[in-house]
């Protein structure tokens, strides 16, 4: 599967994936969140200066077909562990954002054999409040504009004008929402067992959080994540909401670079 | 043709629409007065009994967390009607089995109503409208798959008589399924399934169940019934008789056109009051991706345009409302009938909103006396 600079297709355990590949060197797996993967997002190129970036679209997202055998985050975690194994990738850095952070955490509690480090960017996936306290706003019950206000420091920037997008782009947006519902509907954006399993993560772990994240906060949700992973560090990024890779790509990649530098193979 | 009287049991005494943003899912129930609600329940039960006395069949449906329908359990209502009626067929259309956690419980409830009514149950299964998703907390994706697994489990529970069977499916798990009572009818109550699109209609046709269309108008209904007939032809199955097809509309028969239109306008409360924001009308995965894309581009499917700004004229022109004097209503029904290749069941939405008891009963009486005899001849 060695690397290249283009969009490619990979088949892992019969599941077909659209994968964006950029750069050379140490494997950096980017697991996107519920917003999907924008191949033109600047952070991808920036990351590719530090290694071989592989960014799959999860089944149902982007152009990756639905896979009937895959309908949980647990399935996705095993799928990407299989991807690492089939490519014989070692010392990989897995970076996941939001939903992708949840997937990355689920991978790491299962096996860190092929992982050199873990970067969780405002990950979801754990339950911290009581049963009547929703940790994560219900995006399926809020008006779409309210969701953008919670997720972006600058919601204007994230608003889309459908009249300027192609059918293909609109289809990807619709599929991303559908796939998010598939994986995150219930239990809502979390696995009730994940928090008690996070202690199993024995690789260096960095948690990155937008300081203006109004969706899930660093002080509350981020701190709970940090406290559950031995030795994990929680850092915040100024002037960024829930998706710092989109609102502050340089800062995000800078933090990742420093993390990689600390952990040279 | 058989005609079925159907009411949504709405609670219509609501504050002005400007005071709330959704009549479904999140309207606080402090707006509901249980004392008024009790009177309404009894009134609606009386109207179903009157429908039976007049020679109509009875239909009940089910919705959740909404003022438009106060029957969160069709089985409870039909259980009472099974006792209070003697001859009408009792149609539940339907059980939202893609949203129900326990299909075996549905099998039990339906068997119970069937026995209680001495075999008068007609059992409908529906996917449920999109606003049911949040109320049921059930995932809006891959619903068809879950729907059919629930259906398969229910039918197997109804038709297994030799002790427990095992079910370890993709969505449902029961190791000891053995329901008591079993259904009164053999092999089980007739099954009805609603279809809004041709894709599902083929699957219903393949099984030979009754397919029902709700307010789908001329083209939508023709597409669904056509797909049903086409799938059977394709599989070389028998040509389906008319009693495999049902159409639901708002119906009000007056002595004059004016009286009929006045009644129909009151029935339109159901459409006018259906204020629901997009996050509840379009949960991701409920609608096909292509239609979501069209919606993003601002296209509104023809039929839904009429729901946005309901007006009697367009609703009648498109076959969602049959209203007027008896001759007018007969002509309107026949226009739909001829357009869609015929149907054997007319589901009459005959009560809504501010249509009071006397008006509701008069509409039924006029239909039964002046229109129904001509429709009965069609079968």
pLDDT in tens, A153-188: 999 988 889 999 999 999 999 999 999 999 999 999
By the 8 A CB rule, do B152 and B188 touch?
A: no
Q: Give the pLDDT mean for A67-84.
A: 98
By the 8 A CB rule, do A187 and A135 touch?
A: no
Residue of B nearest to A182 (CA): B141
The model's confidence at residue B183, banded by pLDDT at 50, 70 and 90, is: very high
Reading the block at residue A145, the tokens are 């504009």
Distance CA B216, CA B247 (A): 8
Least Cα distance to A137 among A124, A120, A121, A155 occurs for A124
pLDDT of residue A3: 41
Reading the block at residue A234, the tokens are 């929680």
Interface check for B138 against chain A (CB to CB < 8 A): the answer is: yes
Alpha carbons within 13 A on the beta-carbon side of B11: 26
Query: Do A167 and B293 count as a contact with CB atoms less than 8 A apart?
Result: yes
Least Cα distance to B251 among B332, B334, B344 occurs for B332
Interface check for A175 against chain B (CB to CB < 8 A): the answer is: yes
State the nearest Cα–Cα gap between A209 and chain B, in angstroms: 27
Beta bridge partners of B3: B346
Q: Which domains does chain A have, with CATH numbers?
A: 7-262 (3.40.50.1820)
Nearest Cβ partner for A170 among B134, B139, B293: B293
Complete edge-to-edge strand list for the sheet that includes strand A52-56 = A7-12, A15-22, A52-56, A27-31, A92-97, A115-121, A205-210, A233-237
Reading the block at residue A177, the tokens are 């929402």
ipTM of the complex: 0.93
Q: Which domains does chain B have, with CATH numbers?
A: 2-376 (3.20.20.30)
Mean pLDDT in chain A? Answer: 95
Q: What is the pLDDT of residues A3-61, one digit of tens each?
A: 444 669 999 999 999 999 999 999 999 999 999 999 999 999 999 999 999 999 999 99
By the 8 A CB rule, do B226 and B240 touch?
A: no
Interface check for A192 against chain B (CB to CB < 8 A): the answer is: no
Beta bridge partners of A207: A120, A234
Positive or negative, the Cα torsion across B217, B219, B221, B222? positive
Report the relative pairing of strands A115-121 and A205-210 from DSSP bridges.
parallel
Q: What is the pLDDT of residues B308-351, one digit of tens each?
A: 789 999 999 999 999 999 999 999 999 999 999 999 999 999 99
Q: Coil, helix or strand for A75?
A: helix
Please determine, for residue A88, whether its predicted confidence score (pLDDT) is greater than 90: yes
Query: Do A140 and B26 count as a contact with CB atoms less than 8 A apart?
Result: no
Q: What is the pLDDT of residues B28-45, one digit of tens each?
A: 999 999 999 999 999 999
pLDDT of residue A4: 43
pLDDT of residue A263: 58
E strand or H helix at B364, and its extent?
helix B357-366
Please determine, for residue A260, whether its predicted confidence score (pLDDT) is greater than 80: yes
Query: Do A140 and B134 count as a contact with CB atoms less than 8 A apart?
Result: yes
**Listed range (A70-79, A230-239, B132-141) with the worst mean pLDDT:** B132-141
Instruction: Collect all residues of chain B within an 8 Å Cβ-Cβ radius of residue A75.
Output: none
Q: In this complex, how many residue pairs, one in chain A and one in chain B, have their CB atoms less than 8 Å apart?
A: 62
Chain A segment 7-46 residues within 8 A of B by beta carbon are: none
pLDDT of residue A248: 98
Q: What is the pLDDT of residues B59-70, one digit of tens each?
A: 999 999 999 999
Interface check for B281 against chain A (CB to CB < 8 A): the answer is: no
Instruction: Collect all residues of chain B within an 8 Å Cβ-Cβ radius of residue A173.
Output: 296
Interface check for A63 against chain B (CB to CB < 8 A): the answer is: no
Q: What is the pLDDT of residues A210-219, one digit of tens each?
A: 999 999 999 9
Q: What is the pLDDT of residues B359-376, one digit of tens each?
A: 999 999 999 999 999 999
Instruction: Collect all residues of chain B within an 8 Å Cβ-Cβ radius of residue A179.
Output: 141
The model's confidence at residue B197, banded by pLDDT at 50, 70 and 90, is: confident
- Residue % of chain A over a pLDDT of 70: 96
Bond before A187 cis per omega within 30 degrees: yes
**Torsion angle of the four alpha carbons B288, B292, B295, B300, in this order, in degrees rounded to the nearest 10:** 10
Mean pLDDT in chain B? Answer: 95
pLDDT of residue A7: 67
Contacting residues for A183 by C-beta, under 8 A, at least 6 apart:
A58, A71, A72, A73, A76, A99
Q: Which of B141, B171, B283 to mutate to test the interface with A (most CBs of A within 10 A)?
A: B141
Distance CA B303, CA B216 (A): 7
Distance CA A49, CA A32 (A): 19
Alpha carbons within 13 A on the beta-carbon side of B1: 24
Query: Do B284 and A177 count as a contact with CB atoms less than 8 A apart?
Result: yes
pLDDT of residue A262: 66
State the nearest Cα–Cα gap between A152 and chain B, in angstroms: 19
Instruction: Collect all residues of chain A within an 8 Å Cβ-Cβ radius of residue B296.
Output: 162, 170, 173-174
Chain A segment 206-245 residues within 8 A of B by beta carbon are: none
Interface check for A166 against chain B (CB to CB < 8 A): the answer is: no
Distance CA A119, CA A106 (A): 13
Q: Give the pLDDT mean for B281-302.
A: 88
Q: Coil, helix or strand for B65?
A: coil
Interface check for B284 against chain A (CB to CB < 8 A): the answer is: yes
Q: What is the pLDDT of residues B123-146, one digit of tens each?
A: 999 999 999 999 999 999 999 999
Distance CA B95, CA B108 (A): 12
Residue of B nearest to A160 (CA): B296
State the nearest Cα–Cα gap between A84 and chain B, in angstroms: 28
Contacting residues for A186 by C-beta, under 8 A, at least 6 apart:
B137, B138, B139
In the block, residue with structure tokens 């427990």:
B164
Interface check for B134 against chain A (CB to CB < 8 A): the answer is: yes
């Amino acid at each position: 599967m060695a690397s290249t600079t283009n969009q490619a297709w990979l088949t892992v355990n019969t599941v077909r994936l659209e994968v964006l590949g950029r750069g050379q060197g140490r494997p950096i797996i980017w697991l996107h969140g519920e917003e999907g993967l924008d191949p033109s997002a600047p952070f991808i190129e920036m990351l590719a200066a530090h290694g071989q970036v592989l960014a799959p679209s999860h089944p149902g997202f982007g152009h990756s077909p639905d896979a009937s055998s895959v309908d949980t985050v647990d399935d996705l975690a095993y799928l990407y562990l299989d991807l690492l194994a089939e490519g014989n990738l070692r010392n990989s850095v897995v970076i996941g954002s939001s939903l992708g952070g949840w997937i990355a955490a689920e991978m790491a509690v299962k096996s860190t054999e092929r992982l050199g480090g873990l970067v969780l960017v405002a990950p979801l996936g754990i339950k911290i409040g009581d049963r009547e306290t929703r940790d994560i706003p219900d995006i399926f019950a809020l008006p779409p504009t309210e969701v953008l206000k919670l997720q972006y420091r600058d919601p204007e920037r994230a608003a889309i004008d459908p009249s300027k997008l192609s059918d293909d782009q609109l289809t990807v947006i619709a599929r991303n929402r559908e796939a998010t519902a598939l994986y995150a509907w219930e239990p809502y954006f979390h696995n009730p067992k994940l928090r008690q399993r996070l202690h199993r993560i024995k690789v260096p772990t960095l948690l990155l959080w937008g300081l203006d994240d109004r969706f899930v906060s660093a002080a509350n949700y981020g701190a709970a994540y940090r406290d559950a992973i031995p030795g994990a560090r929680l850092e915040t990024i100024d002037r960024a909401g829930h998706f710092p890779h989109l609102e502050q790509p340089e800062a995000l990649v800078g933090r990742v670079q420093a993390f990689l530098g600390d952990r040279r193979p | 043709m058989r005609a079925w009287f159907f009411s949504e049991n709405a609670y219509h005494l609501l504050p002005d629409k400007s005071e709330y943003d959704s009549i479904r899912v999140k309207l606080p129930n402090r707006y509901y007065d249980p004392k008024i609600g009790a009177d309404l329940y009894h009134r609606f039960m009386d109207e179903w009994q009157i429908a039976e006395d007049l020679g109509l069949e009875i239909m009940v449906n089910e919705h959740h967390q909404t003022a438009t329908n106060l029957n969160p359990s069709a089985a409870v209502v039909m259980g009472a009607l099974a006792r209070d009626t003697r001859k009408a067929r009792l149609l539940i259309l339907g059980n939202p089995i893609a949203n129900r956690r326990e299909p075996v419980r549905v099998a039990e409830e339906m068997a119970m109503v069937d026995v209680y009514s001495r075999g008068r149950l007609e059992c409908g299964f529906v996917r449920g409208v999109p606003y049911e998703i949040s109320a049921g907390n059930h995932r809006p994706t891959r619903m068809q798959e879950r729907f059919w697994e629930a259906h398969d489990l229910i039918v197997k529970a109804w038709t297994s008589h030799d002790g427990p069977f095992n079910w370890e499916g993709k969505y449902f798990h029961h190791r000891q399924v053995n329901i008591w009572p079993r259904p009164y009818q053999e092999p089980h109550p007739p099954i009805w399934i609603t279809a809004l699109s041709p894709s599902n209609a083929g699957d219903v046709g393949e099984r030979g169940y009754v397919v029902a269309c709700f307010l789908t108008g001329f083209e939508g209904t023709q597409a669904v019934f056509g797909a049903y007939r086409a799938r059977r032809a394709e599989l070389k199955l028998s040509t389906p008789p008319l009693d495999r097809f049902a159409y639901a509309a708002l119906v009000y028969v007056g002595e004059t056109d004016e009286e009929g239109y006045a009644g129909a306008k009151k029935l339109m409360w159901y459409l006018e009051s259906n204020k629901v924001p997009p996050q509840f009308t379009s949960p991701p995965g409920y609608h096909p991706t292509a239609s979501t894309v069209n919606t993003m581009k601002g296209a509104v499917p023809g039929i839904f345009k009429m729901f946005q700004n309901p007006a009697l004229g367009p609703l009648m022109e498109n076959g969602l409302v049959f209203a007027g004097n008896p001759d007018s209503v007969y002509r309107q029904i026949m226009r739909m009938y001829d357009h869609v290749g015929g149907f054997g069941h007319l589901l009459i939405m005959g009560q809504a909103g501010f249509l009071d008891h006397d008006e509701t009963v008069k509409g039924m009486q006029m239909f039964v006396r002046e229109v129904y005899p001509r429709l009965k001849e069609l079968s």
